[in-house]
Amino acid sequence: MLTEQVDSYENFADRHNISVAAVRSAKQKIQEAFLNQDIEVSKNNRIVGNEVVVRAFFMQLMRYYHAQIETTIIQSTPQDHLVTDQLVDKLLDIYGLTQDMTNERVISLQVLIWLIRVQNGHYLHDQDLPHILVDAADWPEAYQQLNAHLIDMMREFVDLPEHVLRIEAQFAILTMFTSGLVTDVPEEMLRSEVQTRLKRLTLTLRNNYETAFQSQLPSVVEAQLLQATLSSNLRTLYFLKDLVQSSVDIGVLERNFPIHAKFTSDLLVTLADVWQIEDVPKFRRVMFEDYFNAIIVHLTPAMILPPIRVAIGFVYHPGMDELIRQQLANRRNINFEFVSVGEPADFYISDIAIESEYTVPGYIWNVFPDNHTIDHFVQDAMQLSIKYYQNRKR
């Protein structure tokens, strides 16, 4: 449907070796998924409606199912030959992005979707643009130049009126922000109502952090979290429809990163109230992945998790203690602190049983532990971490 090559049920079924009934059923399911989303499948099997939603849908589809569908889509489009390495490199240069494979793939897909839609007669109108950015005339000089460069490039591929090219270029720049390619968005480019919403996020983040961890959120980390979640906030608040479900299993994250996941969930529920979001479960589901990742990256274990003290000492296997420290120190879900054997500790790990005045659970490892052994110890440590965290909040 993206390539608009579904000319008939029969031909599509024959091309993909499936039944006509299966094709009809698939179309009906797609129609049901599109209900109340401002888009639909037309009688001639084209996706029509709000063009911003259509493009956001395909980009979201690429994001969640990238590996499975990207190659098939690119190879099946007549526009593929237009997306050359030279074009992609030129766009990366205009955007000021590094020329690495990840940026190249995202840019290639965005350009391909744009080419397919525009060359098939689907282009944007003034009323389609989300109310995020101020008028282009008020942008910083660098972005005004970027806007002009994009318009010049678009003229090479499509014959559209100037006002349509301006809208398409502005949307391309907006997509750069909402896709996460660029997270450092100049504040003066955002409308006042958008800035107000983001300031409410700042206050909510501070308050929730202080409530959860009984300390103030460092300003540097606060700025990092706001920048890391900006794309997700703009995307979800202003034009992302819930058409594609993330494949992330939140339950797995809650089991393996219980404190991080709870903070993420509580923050999103509070934020939904502050932003007056009607469908809170949907908002939480759509936003959870990006917020959780930002929190894992920028809130270190030492910042938010109670210390779990581990005494490590090996008699017959010198050097193994350092390897085990390295294994445990890289864990993001537990704040391990390492002490000498004999000092107060929550656990000890050794190749011999150790008697101490302290009653400390011991783990006797005579060979380097496999993943199952490490995971068993980590689960025990995590349960103690949760207990300490809950006691600290009382």
The answer to whether the beta carbons of residues 52 and 39 sit under 8 Å apart is no
Same domain? For 36 and 55 the reply is no
Q: Is residue 176 over pLDDT 60?
A: yes
Q: Is residue 227 over pLDDT 90?
A: yes
Structure confidence at residue 64 (pLDDT): 61
Last residue of a domain, one of 134, 159, 187: 187
Q: Give the separation between CA 50 and CA 131, rounded to whole angstroms.
A: 15
Q: Is residue 66 over pLDDT 60?
A: no
The model's pLDDT over 30-51, given as tens digits with 9 standing for 90+, comes to 888 787 778 888 888 888 888 8
Q: Give the separation between CA 275 and CA 273, rounded to whole angstroms.
A: 5
The answer to whether the beta carbons of residues 267 and 274 sit under 8 Å apart is no
Question: Which tokens in the block code for residue 49?
Answer: 């409606």
Name which residue leads in pLDDT, 121 or 308.
Answer: 308
Same domain? For 249 and 202 the reply is yes
Question: Which tokens in the block code for residue 257?
Answer: 């990163």
Name which residue leads in pLDDT, 144 or 60.
Answer: 144
**Strand bridging mode 47-49 / 347-350:** unpaired
Same domain? For 74 and 123 the reply is yes
Bridge partner list, 335: 307
Q: Is residue 394 over pLDDT 80?
A: no
The model's pLDDT over 92-132, given as tens digits with 9 standing for 90+, comes to 888 888 888 888 888 888 888 888 888 888 989 888 888 89
Average pLDDT taken over every residue of the chain: 87
Q: Give the separation between CA 243 and CA 180, rounded to whole angstroms.
A: 19
Last residue of a domain, one of 301, 317, 334: 301
Same domain? For 55 and 178 the reply is yes
What average pLDDT does this structure show over 74-85?
67
DSSP 361-387: -EEE-SS---HHHHHHHHHHHHHHHHH
Question: Which tokens in the block code for residue 337?
Answer: 């602190």
Structure confidence at residue 257 (pLDDT): 96
Last residue of a domain, one of 150, 166, 187: 187
What average pLDDT does this structure show over 206-229?
96
Same domain? For 95 and 195 the reply is no
Q: Give the separation between CA 12 and CA 303, rounded to whole angstroms.
A: 55
What average pLDDT does this structure show over 283-291?
90
Q: What's the CA angle centered on 266, arms 263 and 267, to 5 degrees?
A: 80
The model's pLDDT over 338-367, given as tens digits with 9 standing for 90+, comes to 998 888 999 999 998 877 656 788 899 999
Same domain? For 271 and 345 the reply is no
Q: Give the separation between CA 47 and CA 343, rounded to whole angstroms.
A: 67
Question: Which tokens in the block code for residue 245?
Answer: 């479900």
Domain span at residue 270?
A: 191-301
Same domain? For 73 and 179 the reply is yes
